[in-house]
Amino acid sequence: MADSVFSAIHNWFRAKNQEAAEALSDPVRDGKLAIQDSEKQIEEFTSKIATLIAETKRLERQATDSASEVVKYQSVAAQAVRAGNEADARDAIMLKQKAEQQAQTFAAQLTANKDLVTKLRDQLNAARMKVAQAKSNITQLQARSSAAQIRTDLAKAASEFHSGKGGLAALDDLEKSVNKQESVAEAYEELAGSSAPVGQALLDKYSVGNASVDAELQQLKSGLLGGGTPNLSLPHSGS
């Protein structure tokens, strides 16, 4: 159980790291940085090839010197033989053979170095051409990257519009909220109307007013308009 939990957590962190890397990625920026890194590598590579070429030239001089030593000691040995000095002739021959061995070693190293220099130069030229091509294409790549970003943004906007997650969806949510508030208000209004005493609504609807007030008002109007003094005394109750 614990192993599965740790594995799930590990995978979650891996996924989040990958998402963060994708979010922070910039193809054009990364391309320019890659060109800079490649140019630095080419510079270091060129320096190493130059060192190898210098070593090759040194081997060429040593090989030439060893060949000269062979010729020189061969001549000395011959002269010693003609002079009847066998010991000197033997020493000269030994020195000549040593020079021959050195010459053979230098020649083998020289051949290997020259082959290596040729291969490295080919690789260097290929790298330089690739970097030059990348430099010439960086503007085009930048334009393509911008166009791709615009297409992605438009596609996301269309997807959000159809899925109800965009700005227009917020307006729809606002309208739904207002409709809900209006419905609640109407519900409370209905409850307030139904809270009056039973029958009060009918009395309010069909009420004809206060009859005594209407009668006294009519009497006042008749007295004033008829020139008489209106009788405003209170009515006496019969005995």
Q: Return the closest-CA partner of residue 145 out of 10, 12, 32.
A: 32
Per the CB < 8 A criterion, the answer to whether 69 and 61 are in contact is no
pLDDT at residue 239, as a whole number: 42
DSSP string, the chain: -HHHHHHHHHHHHHHHHHHHHHHH--HHHHHHHHHHHHHHHHHHHHHHHHHHHHHHHHHHHHHHHHHHHHHHHHHHHHHHHHTT-HHHHHHHHHHHHHHHHHHHHHHHHHHHHHHHHHHHHHHHHHHHHHHHHHHHHHHHHHHHHHHHHHHHHHHHHHHHHHHT-SHHHHHHHHHHHHHHHHHHHHHHHHHHHTTSPTTHHHHHHH----HHHHHHHHHHHHHHHHTSPP--SPPPPP-
pLDDT at residue 199, as a whole number: 61
Average pLDDT on 95-112 reads 92
Is pLDDT above 50 for 11? Answer: yes
Residue range 166-185, pLDDT digits in tens? 555 666 666 777 778 878 78
**CA 131, CA 34: separation in Å to the nearest integer?**
9
SS3 of residue 208 by DSSP: coil
* Percent of the chain clearing pLDDT 90 (strictly above): 35
More confident residue, 235 or 211: 211
Report CA 4 to chain centroid distance, whole Å: 31
* Percent of the chain clearing pLDDT 70 (strictly above): 66
pLDDT at residue 94, as a whole number: 93
Average pLDDT on 161-168 reads 58
Residue range 51-101, pLDDT digits in tens? 999 999 999 999 999 999 999 999 999 999 999 999 999 999 999 999 999
pLDDT at residue 197, as a whole number: 61
For 35-49, 112-126, 139-153, 189-203, which range has the lowest pLDDT when averaged over its residues? 189-203
Q: Return the closest-CA partner of residue 135 out of 3, 38, 237.
A: 38
Per the CB < 8 A criterion, the answer to whether 92 and 73 are in contact is yes
Residue range 186-195, pLDDT digits in tens? 777 777 666 6
For 60-64, 158-162, 216-220, which range has the lowest pLDDT when averaged over its residues? 158-162
Q: Return the closest-CA partner of residue 120 out of 26, 51, 173, 218.
A: 51
For 92-96, 147-151, 156-160, 228-232, which range has the lowest pLDDT when averaged over its residues? 228-232
Is pLDDT above 60 for 230? Answer: no
What does the mean pLDDT of the chain come to?
77
Is pLDDT above 60 for 6? Answer: no
**CA 222, CA 27: separation in Å to the nearest integer?**
102
